Amino acid sequence: MENKVYKSVVIGTGPAGYTAAIYLARANMNPLVIEGPQPGGQLTTTTEVENFPGFPEGIQGPELMDNMRKQAERFGTEFKTGWVNSVDVSSRPFKLQVEGVGEIVTETLIVATGASAKYLNIPGEQENLGKGVSACATCDGFFFRGKKIIVVGGGDSAMEEANFLTRFASELTLVHRRDELRASKIMQDRAKNNEKIKWGLNRTPIEVISTGMGVTGLKVKNNETGEEEVLETDGLFVAIGHKPNTDFLKGHIDLDEQGYVIVKPGSTETSVPGVFAAGDVHDTKYRQAITAAGSGCQAALDCEKFLEGHITQDWSQSLNK
Ligand code: NAP
């Protein structure tokens, strides 16, 4: 068990977490970043990132995240690796139980644990991530210019992604497991009025077909007839929702019914003073690397401001290692 009390701990190492750490470290807050077993977040599963400003030729997702990590390290950010199993934010300083590390004590906490795209978990899907299978139309749509695309899902995300992807696709089919869509009426109407979208309703995806060099089709089961068929495609966009990584926060800070952290409008403050949330863990709308980074910056500034008025520690002692 450590006896050190941190001024600020950041959980999560996507663009939100790293950006928060860069700002905190440059403000002499000596932050600790707790990274999970797969540091870097969702961007490490994409290939080329072409819409992050400052990289006119694009940059590989893992390289971008590595750069952010180095930038945070350069200003004195400390890193520890482990799952945060539980948090006690009932009084300050807060206590975190981190697997393989032990107890971490901190005055403030920035939660930047992100959200994970849900996948179909069918054969061929994970093997072809970044090679024809994607869960992010904004990130990868551009690579499918003039190609056949299938979007899977029946919610607002699927409608939105399908509409967006018709800008690039030569042909787009929306595949959904039922004949009724879950999406809101306005989003359904928008998709139904888009002549480029064909509908593959009542079809359950069962396998992604690929040559090893790229995706060529999606095998589906027709739920009316029970028959299997292969729908030809060059790309598969899975749009069946996201799950925020907040299980360890249940009962400790306010979450919405889907598990996203609730923040006060226009800020990164959560229901617990001194706990802030940044990035996809509270963002159900934009979900971009650049918006997550911006939100990490906001959380760091909110955190600094909070600490100015709430210092409970003798920092000269607690920060001595
Ligand atoms: P969602 O509403 O939960 O919809 C997920 C869809 O994926 C459902 O149609 C579901 O089918 C399907 N699905 C789930 N698991 C599947 C599986 N294993 N195999 C095949 N299909 C599967 O998720 P979402 O569309 O991401 O929306 C999440 C929230 O964000 C919603 O509140 C939504 O309104 C909001 N949102 C809003 C906007 C907007 O307003 N612009 C845009 C995007 C999202 P079933 O219907 O059969 O369950």
Q: How far apart are CA 275 and CA 267, in angstroms?
A: 12
Give the residue whose CA is nearest to atom 31 of ligand 1: 156
Name the stretches of the chain with pLDDT < 50: 316-321
Q: How far apart are CA 311 and CA 309, in angstroms?
A: 6
- CB atoms under 10 Å from CB of 183, counted, come to 21
305 within ligand 1 shell (Cβ under 6 A): no
pLDDT score, position 316: 45
pLDDT score, position 311: 65
pLDDT score, position 309: 79
Ligand 1 centre and the CA of 186: distance in Å? Answer: 14
pLDDT score, position 40: 75
161 within ligand 1 shell (Cβ under 6 A): no
Say how far residue 45 (Cα) sits from the centre of its chain: 11
Using an 8 Å Cβ cutoff, are 88 and 94 in contact? yes
Q: How far apart are CA 103 and CA 4, in angstroms?
A: 10
pLDDT score, position 41: 77
Q: Whats the size of the chain, residue-wise?
A: 321
Using an 8 Å Cβ cutoff, are 8 and 106 in contact? yes
pLDDT in tens, 54-101: 999 999 888 999 999 999 999 999 999 999 999 999 999 999 999 999
- Residue among 157, 189, 283 whose CB has most ligand 1 atoms within 8 A, to mutate: 157
The atom number, within ligand 1, closest to the CA of 178 reads 47
Ligand 1 centre and the CA of 277: distance in Å? Answer: 23
**15-26 and 61-74 are packed helices; what angle lies between their axes, rounded to 10 degrees?**
20
Cis amide bond preceding 273, omega within 30: no
Q: How far apart are CA 10 and CA 203, in angstroms?
A: 42
pLDDT score, position 209: 98
Q: How far apart are CA 52 and CA 29, in angstroms?
A: 27
178 within ligand 1 shell (Cβ under 6 A): yes
153 within ligand 1 shell (Cβ under 6 A): yes
200 within ligand 1 shell (Cβ under 6 A): no
Contacts of 8 (CB under 8 A, 6+ apart): 24, 29, 30, 31, 32, 106, 107, 108, 109, 110, 300, 303, 307
pLDDT score, position 46: 65
240 within ligand 1 shell (Cβ under 6 A): yes
Ligand 1 centre and the CA of 159: distance in Å? Answer: 9
pLDDT score, position 2: 52
| Angle formed at CA 116 by CA 115 and CA 121, multiple of 5 degrees | 160
- Residue among 156, 243, 282 whose CB has most ligand 1 atoms within 8 A, to mutate: 156
Per DSSP, helices labelled H in 179-262 are 185-192
Give the residue whose CA is nearest to atom 3 of ligand 1: 241
259 within ligand 1 shell (Cβ under 6 A): no
- Residue among 151, 175, 177 whose CB has most ligand 1 atoms within 8 A, to mutate: 177
Two structure tokens written together for 57 = 């030729």
Q: How far apart are CA 63 and CA 214, in angstroms?
A: 23
128 within ligand 1 shell (Cβ under 6 A): no
**Which residues are known to be catalytic?**
136, 139-140
156 within ligand 1 shell (Cβ under 6 A): yes
Tell me, what DSSP letter sits at residue 86? E
Contacts of 246 (CB under 8 A, 6+ apart): 111, 113, 255, 259, 260, 261, 281
pLDDT score, position 47: 67
